[in-house]
Structure 1
């Protein structure tokens, strides 16, 4: 029950709405866990695994995000270590108040000298009238290896959902050895969705994904990825200056998920996090 100072005669719309607040931080050293902090609805779990690289699974116990919510995740692997980070399930952005504040997600990633960090969250599902602003910032050493994936799905095709209006703002940054090497802003709104069938926007796609690899020699992987195909998925691959970027899109989330899984298997030479379901 929501406690309030308002009297029974006060208008119902004046009642303050409860909002999600969550913070989770994990720091992994070369020999084991160095720091673990969690508060509010954000949780960080370290499941028992059989492989040599530990996994961190972030979880939002509120079940989704709506206008005014805020989550902060931090994942760091120190020099010489290796770590895989993911999310327990798809994150969901639900409809919010038309003039309300955006839901906000801030993700901070760090990899020390000679470290390996994989940031492999499951997809984000954007529902009609959702409002979400997200910033992902990675800071990596010159000789570290960093792999990331970000996938978006505009509603669930199997449920007959359509998305006509939303506001989504996303910003991804990768700083290597203190230098900004990759910056990608992305924004969707009702005007973008109205042109979703145009080639310059979504090309009719409901699901899109970006995969990135930042490591010495990453550009040499481009040719081998160009031959990777999945029915129903269109993809492009670019490699340059120690970077590899894959962009893919599909009419539904499932074929895109299969393509992403196959691409990551090729790039990482190891199993996906256990929480991924295919």
Structure 2
């Protein structure tokens, strides 16, 4: 019999995809490794950018970067082809970076599909948005704690998730979430997730955003979803909790249909 050589290190996944759009379409596209960016044809609504991680998920020491630059007066929607998965990590954390730059009087809807965290996942993710004068954006983040269809309950986790929006270098919005093993043990408390396994934050950053508060609150009626909305100056922020991802997605779909004039991303399964 042949002896199999011992594998001393796992192959790591690295990917970068960046796209530049102007009012007439693609200006530049660069992609490498496991990260891809596509622009499917859409009959109506905003131009649609779809990112894909061909490695199938994020494990220890993987690195994934997505980037978008919109020229002045350019509007677009960006999403991911499927849910992102963060797998059990034995060593260093997987790292994900999203960098979004929106030119003067431009607009971006950043609506990625959910991130599913497996037991033992270790993920450090940063989303940074730079807005020029007159620019605005909508940002969505959905997180599911465990493979709920398999009855998985998380007992080990390292999560650092941060979103920062700046206009001309000044911070307008900062939203951060950090969870570890000790935090997981407290999540079922009423002051935390109160037993929820799926959560989302939907933010609109624009001068008109507070005007949407009443419309948003009127839409927060999905059974099985606990939600709240607030409207600080220049922002609308909605936070949602659910027992699993399906009612959460239904509520998000209804909010997006009310808060924006364009169709939902075509790649979403609705």
Q: What range describes the TM-score normalised by the shorter chain of this pair?
A: over 0.9
Which residue number in structure 2 is paired with residue 231 of structure 1? 223
**How far apart in 2 are the matches of 1:187 and 1:43?**
28
1:34 matches 2:27: yes
Q: Answer yes or no: is the 8 Å Cα contact 1:28–1:77 preserved in 2.
A: yes
2:250 counterpart (238, 258, 261)? 258
TM-score by length of 2: 0.96
Note the 1:4-19 alignment, pairs <5 A.
12=6, 15-19=8-12
**How far apart in 1 are the matches of 2:223 and 2:60?**
36
Which residue number in structure 1 is paired with residue 240 of structure 2? 248
Which residue number in structure 2 is paired with residue 5 of structure 1? none
Note the 1:1-278 alignment, pairs <5 A.
12=6, 15-97=8-90, 100-228=91-219, 229-278=221-270
**How far apart in 2 are the matches of 1:96 and 1:85?**
28
Deviations 1:170-200 (A, max 9, x none): 0110002321011112111111111121122
Q: How much has 1:9 moved relative to structure 2?
A: 9.5
Q: How much has 1:156 moved relative to structure 2?
A: 2.5
Root-mean-square deviation (CA, aligned residues, Å) is 1.3
Q: Answer yes or no: is the 8 Å Cα contact 1:192–1:201 preserved in 2.
A: no
**How far apart in 2 are the matches of 1:197 and 1:160?**
16
Q: How much has 1:52 moved relative to structure 2?
A: 4.4
Q: Answer yes or no: is the 8 Å Cα contact 2:215–2:259 preserved in 1.
A: no
Tell me, what secondary structure is at the counterpart of 1:58?
strand
| Number of equivalences | 267
**How far apart in 1 are the matches of 2:235 and 2:71?**
21
TM-score by length of 1: 0.93
**How far apart in 2 are the matches of 1:145 and 1:277?**
26
Q: Which runs of 5+ in 1 are unaligned?
A: 1-7
Q: Which runs of 5+ in 2 are unaligned?
A: none
